[in-house]
C-alpha cells in the first residue's frame, strides 16, 4: 500500500483527468450545435455562388469551384425579360417604404401610451393596459377578414399605405407594453420635480422622459422592424402583385418555376430577404434579445 499523500495525489489526478474529459465533451456538444445552427446559412451562401451545373454534380456541402455572382444578380434585378421575370429589387423597396413609417408611428404612439399609463395614472388605467396587453396574443386569423374589408372600404387594400396602417395598429400593443414596463421603473420624483418647475404634459415627455428612453427606443424599434420586415401573413392577405412586401415576393419567386428550378437564385433571394434583419441582429444583438424576452410578456 502506497503512502497516504501519494494516494490523494493519484485521486486528485484522476479527478482532474475526469474534469478535462467532461470539459472536452462540453465543447464537443456545444460545437456540434453551433454547426447545426450554422449549416443552413452555409448551404444558402454556398448554393447561391454555384452554377446550376455545379449544383447538380456536387452536393449541399461542397464548395463552389469558382464564385459566381450571377444568381445574386438575377435574384436582385432579374434576367432582363419582361414577362414572368420575378426579382426582389422593387419588393425590397416596398418593404423599406412599409417598415419605416410603421415603425416610427407605432413606436411614437407606444411611448406616449406608456407615459400616460405610468406617470398620469387615472381610474381604469389598469384595465386599459390589460386590453392593450391582450392584443399581443390574439391570433391574427381572428381579425383577418374584417381587416381585409376595412382596407377595401378605405380604398387602401393592396397598397403600401394599407400595410403601414395594419402594422402600426397591431404593433401598438407591443410598443405600449415595452414603454409602459420601462417607464414604471423611472422614479416619479423626476416628473414631480418637473411639474413643480411648471412643465406641462408634453414638455415633461419631451424634455424629461425621452432623453432617458434611448435603450427602450432601440429595443422597440428593433422588435418592430424585425416583426414587420419578416411578416408574411398580413403581406400575403392584404397585398399581391406589385404592392407586395419582400417576404411575399420571395415566396412567389420560389414557387413560380417558369422552366427549370434555379436553386442558386432561390438561395440568393432568401439571403437578400433575410439580410437586413440579420445585420440588425449582429449589430445590436443585446437589444434584440432584450426585446424578445420583454416580448415574452411580463405585465
Which residues ranging from 115 to 154 are in contact with other proteins (CB under 8 A)? 116-117, 120, 122, 128, 130-135, 137-147, 149-150
Q: Does 100 bind other proteins (CB under 8 A)?
A: no
The site that binds other proteins (CB under 8 A) totals a number of residues, namely: 89
Q: Does 172 bind other proteins (CB under 8 A)?
A: yes
Of 149 and 207, nearer to other proteins (C-beta) is 149
Q: Does 11 bind other proteins (CB under 8 A)?
A: no
Secondary structure class of 129 (helix, strand, coil): helix
Count of alpha carbons within 13 angstroms of residue 103, beta-carbon side: 19
In the numeric block, the cell 422588435 is attached to: 223
Sign of the Cα pseudo-torsion (38, 296, 99, 233, in order) = positive
Q: Does 187 bind other proteins (CB under 8 A)?
A: no
Q: Does 267 bind other proteins (CB under 8 A)?
A: yes
Are 90 and 152 spatial neighbours (Cβ–Cβ below 8 Å)? no
Query: Which of 94, 157, 176, 239 is close enough to bind other proteins by CB under 8 A?
Result: 176
Q: Does 68 bind other proteins (CB under 8 A)?
A: no
Q: What residues numbered 188-217 form the site for other proteins, per CB under 8 A? A: 200-201
CA distance 251 to 8: 66
Query: Which of 7, 13, 40, 210 is close enough to bind other proteins by CB under 8 A?
Result: 40
Query: Which of 158, 159, 161, 230 is close enough to bind other proteins by CB under 8 A?
Result: 230
Q: Does 15 bind other proteins (CB under 8 A)?
A: no
At closest approach, how far in Å is the CB of 137 from other proteins?
Answer: 5
- Comparing C-alpha atoms, which of 32, 51, 234 is closest to residue 151? 234
Q: Where are the alpha helices (DSSP H) in the chain?
A: 4-48, 52-57, 70-77, 89-119, 125-134, 141-154, 160-184, 188-196, 201-203, 214-230, 233-238, 246-255, 263-283, 285-295
CA dihedral angle for residue 54, residue 58, residue 63, residue 68, rounded to 10 degrees: 10
Q: Does 256 bind other proteins (CB under 8 A)?
A: no
Q: Does 104 bind other proteins (CB under 8 A)?
A: no
Of 68 and 284, nearer to other proteins (C-beta) is 284
Contacting range for other proteins; rule: CB under 8 A; set: 42-50, 152-160, 187-195, 210-218: 42-50
Amino acid at each position: 500500500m502506497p503512502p497516504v499523500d501519494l494516494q490523494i495525489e493519484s485521486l486528485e489526478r484522476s479527478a482532474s483527468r475526469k474534469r478535462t474529459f467532461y470539459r472536452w465533451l462540453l465543447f464537443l456538444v456545444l460545437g456540434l450545435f453551433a454547426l447545426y445552427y450554422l449549416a443552413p446559412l452555409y448551404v444558402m451562401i454556398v448554393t447561391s455562388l454555384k452554377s446550376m451545373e455545379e449544383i447538380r454534380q456536387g452536393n449541399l456541402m461542397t464548395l463552389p469551384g469558382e464564385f459566381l455572382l450571377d444568381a445574386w444578380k438575377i435574384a436582385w434585378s432579374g434576367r432582363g425579360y419582361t414577362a414572368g421575370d420575378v426579382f426582389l429589387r422593387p419588393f425590397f423597396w416596398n418593404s423599406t417604404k412599409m417598415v419605416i413609417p410603421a415603425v416610427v408611428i407605432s413606436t411614437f404612439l407606444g411611448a406616449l401610451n406608456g407615459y400616460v399609463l405610468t406617470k398620469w395614472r387615472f381610474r381604469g388605467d389598469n384595465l386599459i393596459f390589460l386590453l392593450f396587453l391582450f392584443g399581443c396574443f390574439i391570433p391574427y386569423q381572428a381579425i383577418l377578414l374584417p381587416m381585409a374589408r376595412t382596407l377595401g372600404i378605405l380604398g387602401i387594400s393592396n397598397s403600401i399605405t394599407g400595410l403601414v396602417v395594419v402594422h402600426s395598429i397591431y404593433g401598438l400593443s407591443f410598443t405600449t407594453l415595452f414603454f409602459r414596463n420601462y417607464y414604471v421603473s423611472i422614479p416619479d420624483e423626476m416628473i414631480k420635480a418637473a411639474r413643480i418647475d411648471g412643465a406641462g404634459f408634453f414638455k415633461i415627455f419631451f424634455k424629461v422622459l425621452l432623453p432617458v428612453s434611448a435603450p427602450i427606443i432601440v429595443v422597440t424599434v428593433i422588435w418592430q422592424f424585425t416583426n414587420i420586415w419578416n411578416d408574411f401573413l398580413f403581406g400575403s392577405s392584404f397585398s399581391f402583385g406589385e404592392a407586395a412586401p419582400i417576404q411575399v415576393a420571395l415566396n412567389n419567386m420560389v414557387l413560380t418555376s417558369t422552366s427549370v428550378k434555379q436553386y442558386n437564385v432561390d438561395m440568393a433571394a432568401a439571403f437578400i430577404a433575410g439580410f437586413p434583419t440579420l445585420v440588425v441582429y449582429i449589430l445590436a444583438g443585446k437589444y434584440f434579445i432584450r426585446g424578445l424576452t420583454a416580448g415574452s410578456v411580463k405585465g
